[in-house]
Structure 1
Amino acid sequence: MGAVETAMQGLRNKIASGELGPGQKCPPEAELCAQLGVSRSSLREAVRAMSALGIMESRHGSGTYISSLEPTVILQNFALLVDLLPLDGLLELFEIRRLMESHAAAAAAANATPAAVAALTELLESMEGTDNPSEYSEYDSRFHEEICRASGNSTLAGLVGIFRSRGGHFHIFDGDIGAAVREGSTDGHRAIVEAIAQRNPTLAATSMAAHIAQTEQWLKKLRPAPRLQD
């Protein structure tokens, strides 16, 4: 292990053990170097790397601090990696996405409020009423976001958003076959809304899993090239 990796591992250990907590100021540089057994240059490189990951931050004239360590902040850097995945890599993540969104749908059903059901129903009706692929894609994203919001787990919502963002680059709602894809997707959404309205977590999870599996099959069949969003 190189000196920079040693410094990073030492910093990670201090954070993971709670020795350095969220928002806490780090010890002086000389003290940290002595504790970790590394040079100043290696420590500074490690701090830069940890800062790039959103774990630490250097404040001019004040020192180095541990970030808030909020999951949504840490996930921003994970999003950069997911955004580079080719289609085959994204498809491997669909198994994880099915599990996460099925859990979110079940939690949304268990916690269903009239307002949440009304919001999902309105988005479903908007999807049914548009022939515009871009509009449909926007309603689709908001639909899944609403379910994650209703689940009450912000970290889950953040992870789902990351996976869905990359998937959106493949634009399966466009083109000659897009209408059929949209119709199948809407049918899946309708089943999910009905399950949530019935406050049936098991049916909601099953409906969501089937819906995402259908999207995965379309991607495998069409194998569209990614197009970056404007």
Structure 2
Amino acid sequence: MITGGELGPGDRLPVEKELAERLGVSRGSLREGVRALTVLGVLDTRQGDGTYVTSLDPARLMSSLQFVVDLHGDTSARPFHAVRRVLETEAAGLAAHRITPEALEEARAVLDLAARTLAQDEVDHAAFIEADTAFHRIVSEQGGNPVVTALVEAIAGRTFRERLWRGRHEEGAEERTQRDHEAVWRALAAGDAEAARVRMAAHLLDVEESLPTPARLDEAAQPDES
């Protein structure tokens, strides 16, 4: 009914008895189906009110991918980052033609915040990662493809430990990230799609090649005594 267009975002499902009869299934089977679709983010059951179709927003529907990354991130990080690189490289190219002045200004503010963080005597690595994530989110959103944005968020948003290790233990890593981001921003500001793709690809390849091993990731959980 949903894929056929009979039910759309925000619509309320018929009552259980009516829906079970219409679909020709038992009410028990129907409940199982509703539970499964709720877990997938397709349906939303409201106590005492009924069951509704969600917004069907890609970010919501793909949220389960974050759990997949969590399960495999420590041991299979590179394949996930390779996918991220492909997606974000294209998103950067698209964003060069679509980015709004407001988004460009927001990205500039994020980069300035990251620069101030790096200028501190004791760098707040977690704050830098937050700024890093915010910059990539702006670029992917300005690419204009919500599916790409959702996929990037699912993958990039779950790599905190890896980036924290990199910032703490790889000398100059965060400074390189900042320079790379600045280069991407300049390409976006110039509306140069090819340069934006090249700069983003080079940046993410550098990150990908410096990913820590699972054993080293454990160090990121320890207090930074430096």
The answer to whether residue 201 in structure 2 is matched with residue 214 in structure 1 is no
* TM-score for the superposition, normalised by structure 1: 0.79
Unpaired segments ≥5 residues, structure 2? 222-226
Partner of 2:224: none
Compared CA separation, residues 50 and 221, structure 1 to 2 (3 A): closer
CA distance in 1, matches of 2:188, 2:180: 13
1:1-230 to structure 2, matched below 5 A, reads 14-129=1-116, 130=118, 131-170=123-162, 171-177=164-170, 179-219=171-211, 224-225=216-217
| Residue type of the alignment partner of 2:21 | A
Q: Give the deviation of 1:221 after TM superposition.
A: 6.5
Listed one character per residue, the Cα deviations across residues 133-192 of structure 1 (whole Å, up to 9, x for unaligned) are 222212211211222233344443332222112112222343332x32112212221221
Compute the RMSD of aligned alpha carbons.
Answer: 2.6
Separation in 1, partners of 2:154, 2:102:
25
Taking the aligned partners of 2:132 and 2:41, their CA distance within structure 1 comes to 30
Structure 1 residues 216 and 45: alpha-carbon distance in aligned structure 2, compared to 1, 3 A threshold: same
**How far, CA to CA, are the matches of 1:146 and 1:57 in structure 2?**
29
1:103 to partner: Cα distance: 2.1
**Which residues of structure 1 form unaligned runs of 5+?**
1-13
**Any idea what the Cα deviations from partners look like across 1:44-84, whole Å, max 9, x if unmatched?**
12212211222112334443322221223223333333333
Separation in 2, partners of 1:111, 1:63: 40
Q: 1:133 to 1:20 in 2, by over 3 A?
A: same
- What is the distance in 2 between the residues matched to 1:58 and 1:112? 37
How far does residue 201 in structure 1 lie from its aligned partner after superposition? 0.6
**Paired AA for residue 175 in structure 1:** R
Q: Aligned with 1:18: secondary structure?
A: coil
Higher RCO (CA-CA < 8 Å; seq separation 6+): 2
CA distance in 2: counterparts of 1:61 and 1:114, whole angstroms = 45
Q: Partners of 2:169 and 2:55 in 1: how far apart?
A: 47
Opposite residue 5 of structure 2, the aligned amino acid is G
Query: Is 1:181–1:218's contact at 8 Å kept on the other side of the alignment?
Result: no
